[in-house]
Structure 1
Amino acid sequence: MRNLTATICVALLLFACAPSDGDPPPFSGEVSEQIQLHQIGYYPGAPVRFSVSLYDAVRDSLAPAPAPEEPVYFLTTISGDSIVARGELGTEEDWTENAGARVRYTELSSPGRGEYRIYVPGIGYSYPFSVADDLHQEAFRGAVKSFYYQRASQELREVHAGKWHRPAGHPDLGARFHPSSGRTTGRLDSPGGWYDAGDYNKYVVNGAFPLGQMLALWEDVGDPAADATLNIPESGNGKSDFLDEMKVEMDWLLTMQDEDGGLFHKFTTKNFEGMVMPHEATSDRYVVGKSTHATLDFAGAAAQAARVFREYDAGYAEQCLAAARRAWAWAKANPAVSFVNPKDVSTGQYGDVDTYDEWVFAAAELFCTTGEQEFLNALQANPPKVRYNAGESWTAYMGMMGVYSLLRHEDRVPLEFREALLAEVIGVADSLVEQVAANAYRQPINTFEWGSNSDVLNAAMVMATAHNYAPKPDYLEAIRASVDYIFGHNPLGVSFLTGFGEKTPMFIHHRQSAADGIPEPVPGLLSGGPNPKQQDRQYTTYPTMARPMQSWADQEPSYASNEICLNWNAPLVYVLGWLEANQ
């Protein structure tokens, strides 16, 4: 990562100089959103990245912004009453193509632990930020606990949910089989699990592989949330709070396996419910479809769970492995069953015509768990494709998760096969580092699709994996820069995680948050992020002529830019947990 900051004077030298007219005035309480930075802060020793946005007419949602009186900045204490350092702003960069702004991007060498602000003459003070060792611990726990707030079929009690407590919704007992399921008789009990997104439906594809992403964190760093750290109903049971919460979703996924081993695709109403509380959303729910994609994603997550849960509950781990084997067998007998919404169903489709990455995920996890030749043969016959493309999170990223597990279990994977995979992962990670260094706001993607924030974080997972096996400072800095973007170093100056940061989404597309009468949304939910396709523009007011990174609106109807989703929060959980362990 290149450092664009000019040499700065340390505090003692600065204090020895006579003050100038441009020195900071006392902090008045007003903050300039032209100064964009990580609103939580930075790790000790890590550079403080910030940008001073210069006015560009493309972004007409803001009044013309003043330019700095001189290209300097001050690092001050949080109250503004003491100057810690002074330096020159970076040279002006034109980021209008993607970000709709010209900026002075600057990297400041790390100050000591404490709380600070940036002051720029003629512009003002920034939001406060910290330099701390456990910088992301609260946000990490909030991101994990957001899954608790998404629990179906369960009352959220005030002792655990605080002011966001609510009655149970959706018992999900005795549900009808939709004709697309292939079943014409009987009913299914499928309680529990997590609501998928801002709606109240449950999907196997988008439940299984996000679960796998978070189980990967356990395998890479150990228990990231020990017993009694999350304040969930299971806290105090003597077992990991993290695995307690992961088991909620795994339990539900097990209910979606048919007697023949295949997985039903989703459990939903026929149409999306209105913006009401869970217990008020009472439309009939159906077991819809069956697909190879859902079955293989389940096989991968269940096989991974069989490893992770061995010490937590050996019997449960064996149950997961047996279910994964049955799913694998069904997929082999039904290798190309795609899912398309029936005519009378309009909820999330999560359809895909290519099962390649799902086969990789399932085979890799089953092989790493069992060591059996059948699964290695499947992988060697169709070697994993190591690649990263933004916008493919729920169609292709599960293939990369299979690769991560193959690297993780070097005791089982043939050396030559593993080394080839690692070389490819390093190649992709190196290309992402180059993109971070060149991109607007120093994040790793140039294409902004639905859920773009998850694309940023999935890219960070690639770099974290490379760092796990071939450590390099550039990887660590690129991951940190990606997280800086999520928490406020972006052209919107928004920390995209509800409840964490100074300027966060307040009108998230999330039914409980919209209907509970509480001004603040449920905390720990990651907004999808900028999406220039603006599929919801008939309901949402975007800035006129907004560039891709500006195509976001903190408006409740904006499902295309401001919704939440399991597969967006999952990579955030991984990356924040990984950073806390590898800072």
Structure 2
Amino acid sequence: MRNLILLTLLSLLFVACSSDADDGPPAFADRATPAIQLNQVGFYPDQPVRFTCADTQAVRSGAAVTSVFYVTTAVGDSTVYEGTLGDSVDWQALAGVTARNGTTDPLPVGEYRIYVPEVGYSYPFRVRDSVLQDVFVGSMKGLFYQRAGAELPEAYAGRWARKAGHPDTEVYYHPSSGRSEGMLSSPGGWYDAGDYNKYIVNGAFPLGQYLALYEDVGDPAADGSLNIPESGNGKSDYLDELKYELDWMLTMQDDDGGLFHKLTTLEFDGMVMPEAGSGRRYVVGKSITATLNFAAATAQAARVYRDYDADYADRLLTASRQAWSWAGNHPDAFFRNPDDVSTGEYGDHNADDEQAWAAAELFATTGEQEFYNDLQQNPPRVRFGPGVGWTSYMANMAAFTLLRHSERVPREMYDELEGLVVTLADSLVQQTERTAYQQPVEDFGWGSNSDVMNAAMILAAANERRSRPEYVSTMRDCMNYILGHNPNAVCYLTGFGTRSPMFIHHRQSASDGIDEPVPGLLSGGPNAAQQDRPETIYKPNAAPMQSWADQTPSYASNEICLNWNAPFSYVAGYLEHEAGR
């Protein structure tokens, strides 16, 4: 590849002019094609632009006319770079495409498109500093739109303003809760996903990922940056938003220290606005996995919130200790949905990973020997596998925390965990180089986009220990995939990029009368199992990476969820911090 033309000052300012090269792109062509797939949000000035050209006869034939590609200004079609596509590679089985990849040198700050003769133009993209800041803020604002029991005024929610729904100040005890009298007041928190229920397992686990970002980079969203009702209170908007969930979780702890597993209707509500939900709501069950996840998240939050509010931090730590004690006395309290409950189960028959995470957070916060002894007996199992985020990724969270707080961890344990994390990160780097879209997974199940982001978090943990450029570049590849460098040519975060999901499985988005969905929510992504196939039209004989449908009924591929947004926010926030170092 070679840079053909140095940009003049006028070119950088996008003065319209056509290329004089006879074999260059046609002037002022304005039609984009999804056959050229790339990050639709943008790249940093020190970052090569990586893209894939797929599924056209010209590409498959390898004709000379498609050997060259051009980078042009988005306005004026001035050619700023010429490069050569790689060899054609058959990715039909996994991605449903025959593809040729292209890479540019880093480009100057500006707005550009890729042009491939006989194929067309890509969607536009930007090159600039802080290029991921908007998607980071957007993904965090997505949590605000998920607030339960709260009105969302137009001043903060814009077009997506709505009335309050589900106050949850009088919630019934389901028989599985172990209580038969009274009612629970459990207001607030975030709706978990496209439904209107609230779950401890999938509230605490994402909170841990959000809190990890704060510990790794400092405050990523200072007061006033998110435009939420708490903005202007002199405290971090980031911690203000997380506190909305923490406050709810505290209400779900029973007097004996155990955690009710979830707060839910017996069946999912219809596709209605929150205030129209009419089903009776219950606290259901009590489980060791919910309790240990809560113990971990609150112990971690007790550290993070110490300067925010010392009394609140003390309350969190007390709650964590009580949960830890309950879990120790109820080792077999695993959850399964009662016969009359059909909402999300978040069941798990093994609590080793949750126990390691809770012990690690309590040890990092207190330094007490009890928790280190437990870690020696049940060390974190550092590993990565698609589709197991909310069941086993907690062990990785435990390792990240112990490495983050090395002053407390004996050298032998530290060295072993560091070696495991670095080895795993190195394998993920190698994996991304073997795939057509530089993504770190080849199995695509429920929430596959979160698998990509969870892999990127492992790379961040390794980079924190042993700073290596390949860790950051692979994290950027993961973000490229999510933001458009995929065979569906979709930026999976609603409201961003040129082509993003319009029909997510999300009740407010489906029923608010607004064409665009609530922004800042990450679609689950391709799911080869297609559990919703009878209700959904996928591409015929869709390959795993194309098993995604932008349709509201597609809960298997196009729903949103807290534990998908959380690692996305972490990775976007971490990359922004890393770019600013």
Q: TM-score, normalised by structure 1?
A: 0.96
Name whichever of 465-474 and 77-86 sits farther off.
Answer: 77-86
Instruction: Indicate the SS of the match to 2:235.
Output: coil
Aligned length, in residue pairs? 568
Is it true that 1:252 corresponds to 2:253 in the alignment?
no
| Amino acid in structure 1 at the alignment position of 2:23 | G
- Tell me by how many angstroms 1:439 deviates: 1.4
- Tell me by how many angstroms 1:220 deviates: 0.1
Does the 8 Å CA contact 1:46/1:109 hold for their aligned counterparts?
A: yes
Alignment of 1:47-126 (within 5 A): 47-55=48-56, 69-126=65-122
Name whichever of 27-36 and 370-379 sits farther off.
Answer: 27-36
Alignment of 1:255-266 (within 5 A): 255-266=251-262
- Of residues 6, 12, 15 in structure 2, which corresponds to 1:11? 6
Specify the alignment match of 1:558 in structure 2: 554
- CA distance in structure 1 between the partners assigned to 2:56 and 2:115 by the alignment: 18
Is it true that 1:334 corresponds to 2:330 in the alignment?
yes
Does the 8 Å CA contact 1:67/1:123 hold for their aligned counterparts?
A: no
Specify the alignment match of 1:539 in structure 2: 535
- Of residues 128, 133, 139 in structure 2, which corresponds to 1:132? 128
Specify the alignment match of 1:570 in structure 2: 566
- CA distance in structure 2 between the partners assigned to 1:127 and 1:54 by the alignment: 16
- Tell me by how many angstroms 1:28 deviates: 3.3
- CA distance in structure 2 between the partners assigned to 1:520 and 1:427 by the alignment: 42
- Tell me by how many angstroms 1:22 deviates: 2.6
Specify the alignment match of 1:403 in structure 2: 399
- Tell me by how many angstroms 1:9 deviates: 3.0
Does the 8 Å CA contact 1:262/1:327 hold for their aligned counterparts?
A: yes
Is it true that 1:469 corresponds to 2:465 in the alignment?
yes
Specify the alignment match of 2:33 in structure 1: 32
Instruction: Indicate the SS of the match to 2:535.
Output: coil
Specify the alignment match of 1:237 in structure 2: 233
Does the 8 Å CA contact 2:257/2:326 hold for their aligned counterparts?
A: yes
Does the 8 Å CA contact 2:493/2:520 hold for their aligned counterparts?
A: yes
| Amino acid in structure 1 at the alignment position of 2:40 | Q
- Tell me by how many angstroms 1:402 deviates: 1.0
Does the 8 Å CA contact 2:62/2:88 hold for their aligned counterparts?
A: no
- CA distance in structure 2 between the partners assigned to 1:70 and 1:158 by the alignment: 49
Instruction: Indicate the SS of the match to 2:134.
Output: helix
- CA distance in structure 2 between the partners assigned to 1:476 and 1:353 by the alignment: 35
Does the 8 Å CA contact 2:381/2:395 hold for their aligned counterparts?
A: yes
| Amino acid in structure 1 at the alignment position of 2:54 | S
- CA distance in structure 1 between the partners assigned to 2:53 and 2:353 by the alignment: 41
Does the 8 Å CA contact 1:117/1:128 hold for their aligned counterparts?
A: yes
- CA distance in structure 2 between the partners assigned to 1:331 and 1:388 by the alignment: 25
- CA distance in structure 1 between the partners assigned to 2:144 and 2:248 by the alignment: 14
Change (3 A) 1:375 1:74: same
For residues 503-545 of structure 1, give each alpha carbon's deviation from its aligned partner in whole angstroms, at most 9, with x where no partner exists. 0000010000000000000000000000010000011000111
Alignment of 1:365-444 (within 5 A): 365-444=361-440
Is it true that 1:483 corresponds to 2:459 in the alignment?
no
For residues 414-469 of structure 1, give each alpha carbon's deviation from its aligned partner in whole angstroms, at most 9, with x where no partner exists. 11111110000000000000000101200100111100000000000000100011
Instruction: Indicate the SS of the match to 1:116.
Output: strand
- CA distance in structure 2 between the partners assigned to 1:394 and 1:464 by the alignment: 19
| Amino acid in structure 2 at the alignment position of 1:438 | R
- CA distance in structure 1 between the partners assigned to 2:80 and 2:6 by the alignment: 5
- CA distance in structure 1 between the partners assigned to 2:237 and 2:7 by the alignment: 46
Q: TM-score, normalised by structure 2?
A: 0.96
| Amino acid in structure 2 at the alignment position of 1:86 | E
Runs of 4+ residues deviating >4 angstroms = 64-68
Alignment of 1:135-284 (within 5 A): 135-284=131-280
Instruction: Indicate the SS of the match to 1:442.
Output: coil
CA RMSD between the two structures: 1.6
- CA distance in structure 1 between the partners assigned to 2:52 and 2:362 by the alignment: 46
Instruction: Indicate the SS of the match to 1:287.
Output: strand
Does the 8 Å CA contact 1:182/1:289 hold for their aligned counterparts?
A: yes
| Amino acid in structure 2 at the alignment position of 1:46 | Q
- CA distance in structure 2 between the partners assigned to 1:203 and 1:66 by the alignment: 51
- CA distance in structure 1 between the partners assigned to 2:148 and 2:135 by the alignment: 23
Instruction: Indicate the SS of the match to 1:227.
Output: coil
- Tell me by how many angstroms 1:65 deviates: 11
| Amino acid in structure 2 at the alignment position of 1:547 | A
Specify the alignment match of 2:495 in structure 1: 499
Unpaired stretches in structure 1, ≥5 consecutive residues: 1-5, 57-63
Unpaired stretches in structure 2, ≥5 consecutive residues: 12-18
| Amino acid in structure 1 at the alignment position of 2:544 | P
For residues 56-79 of structure 1, give each alpha carbon's deviation from its aligned partner in whole angstroms, at most 9, with x where no partner exists. 8xxxxxxx9997733101111112
Does the 8 Å CA contact 2:361/2:398 hold for their aligned counterparts?
A: yes
- CA distance in structure 1 between the partners assigned to 2:63 and 2:232 by the alignment: 55
- CA distance in structure 1 between the partners assigned to 2:177 and 2:185 by the alignment: 15
- Tell me by how many angstroms 1:470 deviates: 0.4
Instruction: Indicate the SS of the match to 2:114.
Output: strand
For residues 372-391 of structure 1, give each alpha carbon's deviation from its aligned partner in whole angstroms, at most 9, with x where no partner exists. 00000000111111111111
- CA distance in structure 1 between the partners assigned to 2:224 and 2:46 by the alignment: 31
- CA distance in structure 2 between the partners assigned to 1:43 and 1:12 by the alignment: 17
| Amino acid in structure 2 at the alignment position of 1:525 | L
- Tell me by how many angstroms 1:8 deviates: 4.1
Specify the alignment match of 2:14 in structure 1: none
For residues 528-579 of structure 1, give each alpha carbon's deviation from its aligned partner in whole angstroms, at most 9, with x where no partner exists. 0000100000110001110000000000000000000000000001000000
- Tell me by how many angstroms 1:27 deviates: 2.6
- CA distance in structure 1 between the partners assigned to 2:98 and 2:136 by the alignment: 32
- CA distance in structure 2 between the partners assigned to 1:327 and 1:303 by the alignment: 10
Instruction: Indicate the SS of the match to 2:65.
Output: coil
Name whichever of 231-240 and 93-102 sits farther off.
Answer: 93-102
| Amino acid in structure 2 at the alignment position of 1:89 | L
- Tell me by how many angstroms 1:11 deviates: 3.1
Does the 8 Å CA contact 2:52/2:485 hold for their aligned counterparts?
A: yes
For residues 183-242 of structure 1, give each alpha carbon's deviation from its aligned partner in whole angstroms, at most 9, with x where no partner exists. 111110000000000000000000001001000000000000000000000000000000
- CA distance in structure 2 between the partners assigned to 1:159 and 1:316 by the alignment: 29
How many percent identity over aligned positions? 58
Does the 8 Å CA contact 2:4/2:80 hold for their aligned counterparts?
A: no
For residues 112-152 of structure 1, give each alpha carbon's deviation from its aligned partner in whole angstroms, at most 9, with x where no partner exists. 11111111111111111111111010110000010000000
| Amino acid in structure 1 at the alignment position of 2:4 | C
Does the 8 Å CA contact 1:68/1:120 hold for their aligned counterparts?
A: no
- Tell me by how many angstroms 1:367 deviates: 0.3
Does the 8 Å CA contact 2:52/2:436 hold for their aligned counterparts?
A: no
Change (3 A) 1:80 1:65: farther
Does the 8 Å CA contact 1:66/1:123 hold for their aligned counterparts?
A: no
Does the 8 Å CA contact 1:363/1:375 hold for their aligned counterparts?
A: yes
Specify the alignment match of 2:298 in structure 1: 302
| Amino acid in structure 1 at the alignment position of 2:65 | E
